[in-house]
Structure 1
Amino acid sequence: MNKIIFTACAAIMAAQAVFAQQGTTPVAVPPHRADEWAATDGLGRTLAPGSYPAPKKDRYVGIFYFIWQGAHGYDRHVAGGPGGGVVPKSPGDTVSPYDITELLKANPANPQYGPVHAFHHWGEPYFGYYLPDDEWIIRKHAQMLTDAGIDVIIFDVTNGPIYLPQVTKIAETYRKLRAEGEAAPSIAFIVNSAPEQTVQNIYNSIYKKELFKDLWFYWKGKPLLLCPPEAVTPEIGAFFSVRQSWAWSKGQKWFGDGKDKWTWLDHTPQSYGWHESKNRPEQISVAVAEHPVSNIGRSFHNWKQPEKPSTEKGLYFEEQWKRALEVDPEFVFVTGWNEWVAMRFKAGSAGQDFLGKKAKEGETFFVDLYNAEFSRDAEPANAVTADHYYYQLASFIRQYKGVRKPEAATGADKITVDGDFSDWRDAGTHYTDDRGDVLHRDHPGWGRIRSYTNVTGRNDIIAAAVASDGKNIYCYVRTAEGMSPRTDPDWMRLFLQVEGQQGATWEGFGFTVQHQPDNANVATLQRFTGAGGWSSGSEIKCRQRGNEMELVIPKKMLGIKGGKFALQLKWADNFPLSAGGIGWLDNGDAAPNARFAWRYVHE
């Protein structure tokens, strides 16, 4: 996390050592059950079904969440926006965002950084250089984090301001999502600078007024607050479950023996905090990386930072997670999700450790992040990290929390593909997808970026089902409202993969169903052939009316033999194949979300 005040930077460096029912036929469907979803990430790694333990009780995951982007200026650093809110952009904000990665590409020997103390991005977030009050971003983050298994976002207010306008916007959006029947994480805060004033501000502004009470994250019966002990008055101590949280444990006076101490960052192997007994771990931290000033990046492993990093693989993240799984505490604190920016500083007369070397007096350095290797964001990026860390996060959360086993289908279902969808009421395995996630985007970006827009949301997929008999696989899908004309580009495509089947796949799927724009009763099943792309395909029967559609695929076309098999499937609308798998994040609607896929298991 960045430090607004340089003395805080120095301190860090010194410390180192629904049931949704819609359409012509009400069909009762289970909750989203995201922990049962499969996925193949951009590196070909799978969230492998059957490789996770059964669900465990009392396991929670929080993630460091940053809300200060834009609250301290753009082209130049300013004291802060009104009430800690996002600063209105001035006519002079015409240069930033300062993207360190791009600046280094343009001039490696002498990158043209922005002014000293101005905020710099280490790279471009996948969703652009956004601001934290963008509702489209808030909703997308809520969806992604809950799908991954995050229980609580922990707001970074370690620098003093509590960014109440941003907190309010996020909380109100989360409450709307929950009111709509969708999921959103709970909220908590971590405090460090000016702790007495900051904690009292949080308490008076939010908790004492019972604002967003339905979103508070409770720990041991009271709302969780991470703060230094000097801020804990009798009133604060009675109201909150308080834990002190800062970086590093070994040899650190603040950590002591670990009682009621939670690190947000710690060298591997991380120490755990405890509350009731030293033999009962309460919390441990897991970090994507540490700092460029400590030369511990995303590739750090086996006690060293390699000369040639493998930034995309998440080697440090993996080591930290393995330690967390070994300790198996009640709570894992992940650092982090969406930090993105750091202030520029110049080294003093004593020089400054930076990237494993000593920056000389007057040379630029950044404390918390620098580039893809030296950054701590699990959120997808337009960089070598892509969306790899998101699925790595989800996979390790599953190993930590465990997952439910999907119910297997048995026997044969009776489905007739005739445009009468009533036979789906009592047949098949049913799935749901988030309602309302086709929201359009139009919001200012950082600095010179006037607006980010996304109007690709079209058909809002809310439910699907799969059934089978001895010869065929049947698929059903439903949207929130009547489907758009099938002549629309990239209209309602189905992706399928038979588990265990050999052969080339595209983003984890071996088959796709593309609907013919001129014939509502026919679709085309295509197989991915590798370098040759997709086969010309075979016609299959399809019917669509209003907001519902069904189709049938002969098992022999999918290479399914026998009665025991498992399928992975997803629907997508207004998604161009040219976007690649990462494009399921923000093109039209994908069901289930992002790269995830539903599983249909038949025994």
Structure 2
Amino acid sequence: MNLKKNIYPCLIYVFTIIILFSTVIIPENAYAQNGVYDWLNAETHSPEYDFSNKNLAFYAKDDNLSLNNKGFLVFDGNTLSVKKDHSASIGGANYLGDYYGLSGGTLSFDTLVEEGSCLKVGIRCISQNADPYKKGIFFLFTEKAVSLSLPSIDFTTELSSQIDLSSAKKIEIRDTVDKIVLLIDGENCATLSYKEGGILSVYDASGNQKTETEATSVYSAGYWNIELQRAESAIWIDQLKFHFTEIDQTLPPREQREVSYQNWVASDDLGRVTRMGSQLGAQKKDKYVGIFYFLCVVGAGIHVQDNTKIYLESGVDGLKTYLKQKGGEGYWAEPYFGYYRNTDTWVYRKHAYMLDAAGVDFVFLDVSNSETFDKAHLALFDTWLQIRKEGGQTPQICFLTGNTEGRLESHMNRLLRTVYSDKNYEKYEELFFQWEGKPLIFGNPSGLSDEMKAVLKNFTVRGCWAWENQDGYWNWLQEVHYDEATGKYYMDKGRDPSGNFEQLAVAMGHHPSTSKGRSFVKGVQPNNGKNDFEFSSETAGLGLGFASQFEIAIEMDPQIIMITGWNEWIAGLPRDASYTHFANTDVDGYMYIDQFNPEFSRDGEPMKIRSGVGFGDNYYYQMVDYIRKFKGIDAELLAGGQDTIDIHGDLSQWDHVSPEFRDTIGDTAFRNEPSYDLEFRYINNSGRNDFDYAKVSQDHDSLYFFVKTVHDIVWDDGENCMNLYIDLDKNHETGWEGYDYVLNRSHSDTHMTLEKFIGNTWEGENIGEAEYVLLGDSLIVKVEKSRFGIESGNMINFDFKWSDHSTTSGNVMEFMDLGDTAPNDRFKFRYLIADGIDISKENGLSTAAIISLIAGGALLVLVVSVVLIFKFVGKKG
């Protein structure tokens, strides 16, 4: 018998079969991609100028250019120069490259610089006609040398002293976001490597690193600018070329695409879990929730005053000194989405998704003072209307004009020129929150003109202010009272003009001026006695007052509950010698009325946590839970159509699998918006794969996951690419943020890693692999139950979540603003199957057991294969 002759073909056959069954061809439209994604509607423009036109007005009117000190510019028909002993600049009216820092762009020009003159070229500038003392990257050219200047950190370094610009040279700056290359006549002069936070590594022409800077806060994109500083000697530029890319992320119109939240569940940092329909009962009819929504952050263009930040940096005494000497309009803390302005449509989009998921039916906009914030409320209406055109859902909107007599009429006259105008009424009508069949508006109806009375016949009018107890009035803030006769706590009822009970208000907090904060419960406010504005309060983040009022409101059973509030954030600082005490603290001549710090504030929008001070998004999920308790929510949908899935087969296998776990779409929008302080911007281009919906199936031995995105999946080797998180035991106390496993921190062409989180940390240990198939806009994953220590035949319940291009740090709040997740934020999808088993930490197998099981299985397969081979060889022999 020739053993070698017979065994080699057998081995080749076996391994060929293995390769064929384990290999999948990734189609061309599932790809790794840097730069502007193919699915974006992007148009690149490449203007060129030879300066043959001598007319200054020609350039001043050009929409692509921005001129500064234009009276000193000289257009001689060949070049652009500047008058002697003067400086002037030409720059872009658009960013170099795209607006979001996806792909960068190239700037080039010919130049001559003689001794004594200087050319300053800025890129990634925060504003047009860049101030050299502001953020940006600046190259300074003299006749013989070029240097790099970073004004934001007062940094300058020479790049080369071997150039000669006394004769014309071509300057080219290639910005590809993570790298900036400076070329002179086509030769590399220097390279800058860009890292997160604006850290720059500087390399010379030979590729040797010269230095690495500290964080510069320079952004990934910005304006370009060329400043010509002329002495007696000559300086000019010519043949100017640059690129900019316009990006439109608008989704095409589609029919209403309802997202059901009945299988969405979340846990906050306190371990509180949002209750589900199976615990609370079905959705109730005619129950509504509104929330106080603010437009007051117009942005002063000056440095931000953040009371919590100042306290953490300077202590109580330092904060008191600051407030006494120069305090003014201040934030009580930093919002999680930053110190945004009231025209930031990215934030308005995020708010729509968050509030709709919470069960909020309408927002009532605060226009109770002199302003109606026309630009802001139109931006809000337009953003939410666009979401609806894309098939999404948003709350509806109404206005609160305050309780000052005459303000209802004056503000209504303004609104009749914006959203209620003849031109716009029909456009925005679907966004108007209606009560009694008409758009609702809050205001004092006293003293109205006959003309306004006629207008308001088309609206439902209710008075609305704090602590009101009269017919025709609702409240936006109220306190709890005790009825000695019944022994019950109650709140004053919001009533229609006939005295019928309609509404109640619940508050997340009250007023620092009255020393009533978030912990104010049934008339009692804790006082730690430290005279520190309760910054050291241990109850600020617990929502004690909010819970107390909500419980009473639910028991009183109104039609509407109105919550104060969502996004007020700032308050002014009035001064008077009589102001000697607020927020449980003695002060000297100043006071904050509405908002001051974590305890004495009333916003539910998530905040950033600094040095352990604050409560993140806890109030948001507490609000979600109480809204569900008040309104009810339908029971969780059970899995149907469960079957074995051939992941290499046709996608039609999934047609009968239910439910369809839907995510909100359109929430991968990019952001580039100025902050309250104009020296800062918020640029976020992390949105990539926009999740549409997910499905799950299981058989006796495997779990099958399907996820679809709005566009073809962008696929790369990043650890945060298309991750699948599994909370096997549905327990927030185990694993990282409740998740026990994560898939796809790395992958091959056919398999992705399966990691088990180590304790409660972000770190994971690799316990195996899962097979996957990538098909355009769809990803299918098969995970063997044995990987989790689940015995064959057991059908299981669990929670899961998809995430793309999101957190790499383990900060769970980054699910809110980085990339996309399905479902949003901290929410998870709850997968339940009839007669499914709930896995607990106690009855699951240990990691060691799982690894042993896998290893044993692999050994068994190997032994069987060898036996079969030798048996086959023996027969042949």
Shorter-chain TM band = 0.7 to 0.9
Of the structure 1 ranges 527-536 and 544-553, higher mean CA displacement relative to structure 2 is found in 527-536
Q: Is 1:222 matched with 2:441?
A: no
2:554 corresponds to which of 325, 350, 365: 325
Q: Is 1:68 matched with 2:296?
A: yes
C-alpha displacement of 1:205: 3.9
2: distance between equivalents of 1:461 and 1:29? 17
Change in CA separation of 1:599 and 1:219 when aligned onto 2, cut-off 3 Å: same
Change in CA separation of 1:527 and 1:443 when aligned onto 2, cut-off 3 Å: same
2: distance between equivalents of 1:461 and 1:146? 17
2: distance between equivalents of 1:58 and 1:124? 36
SS at match of 1:537: strand
The structure where strand makes up a greater share of residues is 2
Query: For residues 235-288 of structure 1, what are the alpha-carbon distances to aligned partners after superposition, in whole Å with 9 as ceiling and x for unaligned?
Result: 244121111111114xxxxx33xx22111000124222123876x631000110
Change in CA separation of 1:468 and 1:114 when aligned onto 2, cut-off 3 Å: farther
1: distance between equivalents of 2:286 and 2:607? 32
2: distance between equivalents of 1:48 and 1:530? 25
Query: For residues 497-530 of structure 1, what are the alpha-carbon distances to aligned partners after superposition, in whole Å with 9 as ceiling and x for unaligned?
Result: 134569722112112112533x121122222231
Of the structure 1 ranges 285-294 and 545-554, higher mean CA displacement relative to structure 2 is found in 545-554
Q: Is 1:387 matched with 2:617?
A: yes
C-alpha displacement of 1:174: 0.9
Q: Is 1:198 matched with 2:419?
A: no
Change in CA separation of 1:556 and 1:502 when aligned onto 2, cut-off 3 Å: farther
SS at match of 2:637: coil
C-alpha displacement of 1:42: 1.9
Counterpart position of 1:34: 261
Query: For residues 26-61 of structure 1, what are the alpha-carbon distances to aligned partners after superposition, in whole Å with 9 as ceiling and x for unaligned?
Result: xx9983202431111122211133322211000111
SS at match of 1:474: strand
Aligned residue-pair number? 544
Q: Is 1:289 matched with 2:509?
A: yes
What aligned pairs does 1:483-494 form with structure 2 within 5 A after superposition? 483-494=713-724
1: distance between equivalents of 2:731 and 2:351? 34
What aligned pairs does 1:272-311 form with structure 2 within 5 A after superposition? 272-275=493-496, 281-306=501-526, 307=528, 308-311=537-540
Counterpart position of 1:477: 707
Query: For residues 537-565 of structure 1, what are the alpha-carbon distances to aligned partners after superposition, in whole Å with 9 as ceiling and x for unaligned?
Result: 21122111222111112223335466553
What aligned pairs does 1:107-256 form with structure 2 within 5 A after superposition? 107=314, 108-111=316-319, 112-113=322-323, 118-192=328-402, 193=404, 194-195=406-407, 196-209=409-422, 210-211=424-425, 212-230=428-446, 232=448, 233-249=452-468, 255-256=469-470
Of the structure 1 ranges 137-146 and 110-119, higher mean CA displacement relative to structure 2 is found in 110-119
Q: TM-score, normalised by structure 2?
A: 0.59
Counterpart position of 2:666: 436
1: distance between equivalents of 2:546 and 2:795? 37
1: distance between equivalents of 2:355 and 2:325? 34
Q: Residue 98 of structure 1 contacts residue 114 of structure 1 at CA under 8 Å; is this kept in 2?
A: no
Counterpart position of 2:27: none
Counterpart position of 2:130: none
2: distance between equivalents of 1:203 and 1:227? 15
1:105 corresponds to which of 312, 316, 336: 312
Query: For residues 433-486 of structure 1, what are the alpha-carbon distances to aligned partners after superposition, in whole Å with 9 as ceiling and x for unaligned?
Result: 222211111010012443111111111111211111122211011122222233
Larger CA Rg, structure 1 vs 2 = 2
1: distance between equivalents of 2:642 and 2:378? 51
Structure 2 unmatched runs, 5+: 1-250, 481-489, 529-536, 835-877
C-alpha displacement of 1:354: 1.1
2: distance between equivalents of 1:387 and 1:536? 31
SS at match of 2:705: strand
Q: Is 1:405 matched with 2:619?
A: no
Change in CA separation of 1:343 and 1:536 when aligned onto 2, cut-off 3 Å: same
2: distance between equivalents of 1:544 and 1:538? 19
- If asked which structure has higher relative contact order (CA below 8 Å, sep 6+), I would say 1
User: What letter corresponds to residue 354 of structure 2 in structure 1?
Assistant: M
Q: Residue 293 of structure 1 contacts residue 368 of structure 1 at CA under 8 Å; is this kept in 2?
A: yes
SS at match of 1:459: coil
User: What letter corresponds to residue 659 of structure 2 in structure 1?
Assistant: T
Query: For residues 61-99 of structure 1, what are the alpha-carbon distances to aligned partners after superposition, in whole Å with 9 as ceiling and x for unaligned?
Result: 1111111211xx62xxxxxxxxxxxxxx4xxx3xx2111
Counterpart position of 1:84: none
Q: Is 1:574 matched with 2:784?
A: no
1: distance between equivalents of 2:659 and 2:465? 46
Q: TM-score, normalised by structure 1?
A: 0.85
What aligned pairs does 1:443-462 form with structure 2 within 5 A after superposition? 443-462=673-692
Indicate the percent of aligned positions where both proteins have the same amino acid.
31
Q: Residue 67 of structure 1 contacts residue 156 of structure 1 at CA under 8 Å; is this kept in 2?
A: yes
Q: Is 1:371 matched with 2:594?
A: no
1: distance between equivalents of 2:660 and 2:632? 22
2: distance between equivalents of 1:114 and 1:170? 36
Pairwise CA RMSD of aligned residues? 2.4
User: What letter corresponds to residue 286 of structure 2 in structure 1?
Assistant: D
User: What letter corresponds to residue 244 of structure 1 in structure 2?
Assistant: G
1: distance between equivalents of 2:391 and 2:732? 39
Counterpart position of 1:558: 788
